[in-house]
Amino acid sequence: MSDDPSVGKLRALVAEFEPDRGHLMPALHKVQDTYGYISRQAMEVVARQLRTTPALVYGCVTFYYDFRTHPPAEREIAWCSGPACRLRGGDRIREALQHTLELPLGGISADGKYGFHNGQCVGTCSEAPQVWLDGKVVGDLTVAKAIELGRSVRGGA
């Protein structure tokens, strides 16, 4: 997933996209879906393909929460920032997980093994408070359960 792709491969990947047709976001999605993140090199290739500047592409990439400029961690805990979770101790879960993982929201461990992210509410509020572990909902949490989950992810379980 995270091999930095060659310029040739990147060009081929985004060859279908055209300037001034609203293709920047689809092109960036395609790069991220393929490689897991959007490298500086990819931004330059996309910019060239769409006849725009790397700075504009970079501006777009960094504007959105879900575009990544670095490879994702092997395991990811995404914390649900939604209101139903908040009402049931969600913020205390965030605080506890930050300390358990020793990562801020948006952080990745130095060895790239695990990351901690902010997740947006998608309306699975019956499970509140919840986090996603590698995209799968872990709901009905208590702070203690969240800490145990964090420890097991950190310990490589």
Partner 1 sequence: MNARLQTIIDEAKARVETKNTNGREKVNVCIDTSSIARGGEETLAKIREVAEAKGLRIDIGVTGSWGFSWMEPTVTVRSAAGTQTILYANVTADRVEEFIEATVVSGGTMPELALGVVEGTATDDIALLSDHPWMKGQERRLMEYIGRHDPVNIDEYLADGGYEGFGAALELDAETIVNQVVESGLGGRAGGGFPAGRKWDFLRTATTDERYLICNADEGDPGAWVNRVILEGEPQQIIEGLLIAALATGSFEGYVYIRYEYPLAFERFKKAAEQASSLGLLGKDILGTGLDFEIIPFLGAGSYVCGEETGLIASIDAYRGMPRIKPPFPAQSGLWNKPTNVNNVETYANAPLILKNGPEWWAGVSDCEDKGTKMFTVSGAINQPGCVEIPYGRTMKELLENYAGGMKEGSTLKGFQPGGPLSGILPASDINLPLTRPPYQERGMFLGGGGVIFFDQTTSIIDLCLYFVGFCEDESCGRCTTCRGGTQRAVEILRRMANGGGRNTDIDKLLDIVNTLVWSNCLHGQFGATSVKVALKFFRDEFDEVIREKRDPTRSLPGLISYVITSPRDESLAAAKDICPTVAISESAGTYSLEDAKCIRCGACKELAPGAIEVRDRFAPPIPADVAAAGG
Binding site for partner 1 (CB under 8 A): 20, 22-26, 28-29, 50, 52, 56, 59-60, 63-67, 81-84, 86-89, 91-93, 95-96, 99-100, 119-128, 130, 137, 139, 142-144, 147-148, 150
Q: Which is nearer to partner 1, 8 or 135 (CB)?
A: 135
- As measured in angstroms, the least distance from the Cβ of 156 to partner 1 is 18
Q: Are 131 and 80 in contact (CB under 8 A)?
A: yes
Q: Write down how long the chain is.
A: 157
Could you tell me which of 41, 36, 99 has the C-alpha nearest to residue 70?
A: 36
- As measured in angstroms, the least distance from the Cβ of 32 to partner 1 is 9
Q: Which is nearer to partner 1, 50 or 73 (CB)?
A: 50
φ/ψ bin of 134: left (φ > 0), alpha (ψ from -120 to 50), beta (otherwise): left
Structure tokens at 109: 């461990």
- As measured in angstroms, the least distance from the Cβ of 12 to partner 1 is 21
Q: Which is nearer to partner 1, 41 or 60 (CB)?
A: 60
Structure tokens at 116: 């901690």
Q: Tokens 């990147």 belong to which residue? A: 10
